[in-house]
A = this chain, B = another copy of it.
Amino acid sequence: MLAPTSTAVPYSVGIVTPQFLEFPEPLRLANGTSFGPYSLAVETYGTLNAQRNNAVLVCHALNASHHVAGVYADDPKSTGWWDNMVGPGKPLDTDKFFVIGINNLGSCFGSTGPASVNPETGRPWGAAFPVVTVEDWVHAQARVADRLGIAQFAAVMGGSLGGMQALSWAITYPERLRHCVVIASTPRLSAQNIAFNEVARRAIITDPDFHGGDYYAHGTLPRRGLSVARMVGHITYLSGDSMAEKFGRQQRQSQNGGDYNYGFDIEFEVESYLRYQGEKFSGYFDANTYLLLTRALDYFDPAKTCGGDLQRALAKVRASFLLASFTTDWRFPPANSREIVRALLGNRVPVTYAEIDAPHGHDAFLLEDARYHAVVRAYYERIATELGL
């Protein structure tokens, strides 16, 4: 196939349809138990070539899913979460690469999760759903690769929590990926990161409608707690500067000639925005999934079993790396990525690292920044050349 040049106008992968893969064999989990049978929601874009060497796995972060690119036939607003990155002529070019998105075990967008029915009880798993880890997801993703006949990925890629999965792939299955693309991520959460996650979890767990995680049976949803959790999370995704630019101290209403309303209803635009984000999120996201995903974030720490020595944890890595971070990301700041870069260089692993001067905080990894996308595009063009795609 003749690859389009990078100056081609990108277009979307178009209408996409998820598949649901059943896995009857239980999966061994980090917590020592086994879980299964289970099913995973999967989407693919582009075509797996005859050599089966052009597959790229894209791992999702906290509130995303297998729906990476394209739209669903029945909903023109259902654009995939990384549609600006993945598609024909886009940085991860589906004219060359076969791209796979997998909704992780425990999530709430089609894969088996806490809202799924536990076949042993006939009721939703709820609080009985096991606490899964980044490593558990990587093992489950490897099974999907097996199912699709992919022995080795051209690349595994992700941002934030997705970047942790990519990094874990390079450690856990060093022979099964040629390249590892880690964006706006970290080798471990800081105390402050964990603290924000804990605030979110407390807001959910102490909501009386949470019912110990079994709110499905009670016909309730802990929407208040989940909304507060989302609000606090959202603040950490944006930089202080971008919030200042977007909202500043702009007031929502100025019927008093700009004077304040002297109350606790919405006064400032930033309050309106956050409340809206919280309420919207609490209407579609499962609270138990939120708990699971924040805990997976907390627990990720590949250096833990090596006495905190990240270089040693990465000693068996075979993949080459692209890492990117964003200057105003205070959730996973550039120093976190630099630590991974240093540990890789210490192992003589080939690394490309881009520190992008972008104002948008952690959210920058989802946005279409020209320099950022140029770096990713160039890296995938290099992979395509290397593989003769």
Q: Which of A227-264 contact B (CB under 8 A)?
A: 227-228, 231-232, 235, 238, 240, 243-244, 246-249, 258, 260, 262-264
A278 to B205, CA, bound (A): 14
Smallest beta-carbon distance A289→chain B, Å? 13
Determine if B244 and A192 form an interchain contact, defined as CB atoms under 8 angstroms apart.
Answer: yes
A201 at the A/B interface (Cβ < 8 Å)?
A: yes
Q: Which of A94-102, A145-153, A293-301, A312-320 is found at the contact surface with chain B?
A: A293-301
Q: What sequence of 0s and 1s flags, for each residue 54-73 of chain A, a beta carbon within 8 Å of any chain B beta carbon?
A: 00000000000000000000
Determine if A194 and B240 form an interchain contact, defined as CB atoms under 8 angstroms apart.
Answer: no
A359 at the A/B interface (Cβ < 8 Å)?
A: no
Chain B contacts for A304, CB-based, 8 A: 258
Smallest beta-carbon distance A214→chain B, Å? 14
Q: Which of A80-88, A166-174, A266-274 is found at the contact surface with chain B?
A: A266-274
A191 to B361, CA, bound (A): 14
A246 to B194, CA, bound (A): 13
Please give me the residue from chain B that is nearest to A213 by CB atom: B264
Smallest beta-carbon distance A162→chain B, Å? 21
Determine if B202 and A231 form an interchain contact, defined as CB atoms under 8 angstroms apart.
Answer: yes
Chain B contacts for A191, CB-based, 8 A: 240, 243-244, 246-249, 268, 270
Determine if A270 and B240 form an interchain contact, defined as CB atoms under 8 angstroms apart.
Answer: no
Smallest beta-carbon distance A361→chain B, Å? 10
Question: From DSSP, what is the main secondary structure of chain A's interface residues?
Answer: helix
Chain B contacts for A258, CB-based, 8 A: 304
Chain B contacts for A208, CB-based, 8 A: 208
Please give me the residue from chain B that is nearest to A263 by CB atom: B131
Chain B contacts for A232, CB-based, 8 A: 196, 199, 232
Chain B contacts for A231, CB-based, 8 A: 195, 198-199, 202
Q: Which of A122-160 contact B (CB under 8 A)?
A: 130-131
Determine if A198 and B274 form an interchain contact, defined as CB atoms under 8 angstroms apart.
Answer: yes
- Give how many copies assemble into the complex: 2
Which of B240, B246, B301 interacts with A249 by CB under 8 Å? B301
Chain B contacts for A78, CB-based, 8 A: none
Sorting the interface of chain A by its residue count into under 10, 10 to 19, 20 to 34 or 35 or more gives: 35 or more
Smallest beta-carbon distance A86→chain B, Å? 31
Smallest beta-carbon distance A385→chain B, Å? 41
Determine if B228 and A262 form an interchain contact, defined as CB atoms under 8 angstroms apart.
Answer: no
Q: Which of A320-372 contact B (CB under 8 A)?
A: 330
Determine if B30 and A262 form an interchain contact, defined as CB atoms under 8 angstroms apart.
Answer: yes
A190 at the A/B interface (Cβ < 8 Å)?
A: yes
Please give me the residue from chain B that is nearest to A208 by CB atom: B208
A155 to B143, CA, bound (A): 70
A176 at the A/B interface (Cβ < 8 Å)?
A: no
Please give me the residue from chain B that is nearest to A288 by CB atom: B264
Determine if A202 and B228 form an interchain contact, defined as CB atoms under 8 angstroms apart.
Answer: yes
Which of B198, B203, B228, B274 interacts with A270 by CB under 8 Å? B198
A264 to B248, CA, bound (A): 36
Determine if B260 and A299 form an interchain contact, defined as CB atoms under 8 angstroms apart.
Answer: yes
Determine if A202 and B278 form an interchain contact, defined as CB atoms under 8 angstroms apart.
Answer: yes
The 10 closest A-B pairs by CB, nearest first: A31-B262, A206-B224, A191-B243, A131-B262, A191-B247, A192-B240, A191-B270, A198-B271, A199-B231, A192-B243
* New A-B contacts (15) at CB < 8 Å, excluding given A191-B240, A201-B264: A31-B262, A131-B263, A188-B249, A192-B235, A192-B244, A194-B268, A196-B235, A199-B232, A199-B274, A202-B231, A202-B278, A203-B228, A207-B224, A232-B232, A260-B299
Subset of 6 A-B contacts with CB under 8 Å: A30-B262, A31-B260, A188-B249, A195-B274, A198-B231, A203-B228
